[in-house]
Amino acid sequence: MFEIGNFKKFKFVVVGGALLLTVGCAQQTVKSDESVASASASASASRSGSMTKEGSMTEAERRLKRDAFKRSLREFQKAPVYFDFDKSKVRPDMRPVLDRKAQFLHDFPSVRIQVEGHCDERGTAEYNIALGHRRAQQTKDYLVSLGVSASRIDTVSYGEERPADPRSQELAWAKNRRAMFNAIGGIPTGMN
């Protein structure tokens, strides 16, 4: 029924088709393997790059960096700025203190702070709250003039409510006329 010539043609077509199918699949497999290898190498390089950045610092170096930040932060928070009696203008001898605080804020640009304005006990409570506010605001304005973003600085006035020295004498009053500083946010990751 089949003629030999037709069978040879049929066999040729079947074998040729199978060969084309096999070659096509092989090329597709090679391309897929190359894509996988390329993607794998790319991901590996990316991982090793981030490991190099993050992993290049030893635990001892991280601890030293964290300790240095904590010391700087303590110094930033503990050094008050003092004011003259019934004044809110930053005294010339207090500018170097604020210059160091501005440098800390430039070194750690994510840190947000609060400036507290304080007064001595003389004057009415209302007057001292207003004076404390002016002191905190003048301090903030000075830091802003040094390039610190105003959005990173909040102010609050405690008036005479939180004295550094509760005695009623000139030395105590001089300690109480001050601006204090607190970090309220933005501590860099791994530094607390």
pLDDT tens per residue across span 108-145? 999 999 999 999 999 999 999 999 999 999 999 999 99
Q: How far apart are CA 77 and CA 75, in angstroms?
A: 5
Residues 16-41: what's their mean pLDDT? 47
Percent of the chain with pLDDT over 90: 68
Could you tell me which residues are beta bridge partners of residue 156? 116
| Chain Cα centroid distance, residue 85 | 38
pLDDT at 190: 82
Confidence bin at 192 (pLDDT 50/70/90): confident
Statement: residue 169 has pLDDT above 60: yes
Contact in structure between 180 and 94 (CB atoms under 8 Å):
no
Confidence bin at 44 (pLDDT 50/70/90): very low
Q: Counting runs of H as helices and runs of E as strands, what totals does the chain give?
A: 5, 4
pLDDT at 162: 97
pTM: 0.69
Residue 48 structure tokens: 């090793």
Write the DSSP symbol of residue 58: -
Q: Lowest-confidence range among 12-16, 22-26, 44-48, 56-60?
A: 44-48
Statement: residue 7 has pLDDT above 60: no
Statement: residue 55 has pLDDT above 80: no
pLDDT at 39: 45
pLDDT at 34: 47
DSSP states of 126-189: HHHHHHHHHHHHHHHHHHHHTT--GGGEEEEEEETSS-SS-SSSHHHHHHHSEEEEEEEE-PPT
Residues 81-87: what's their mean pLDDT? 98
Confidence bin at 189 (pLDDT 50/70/90): confident
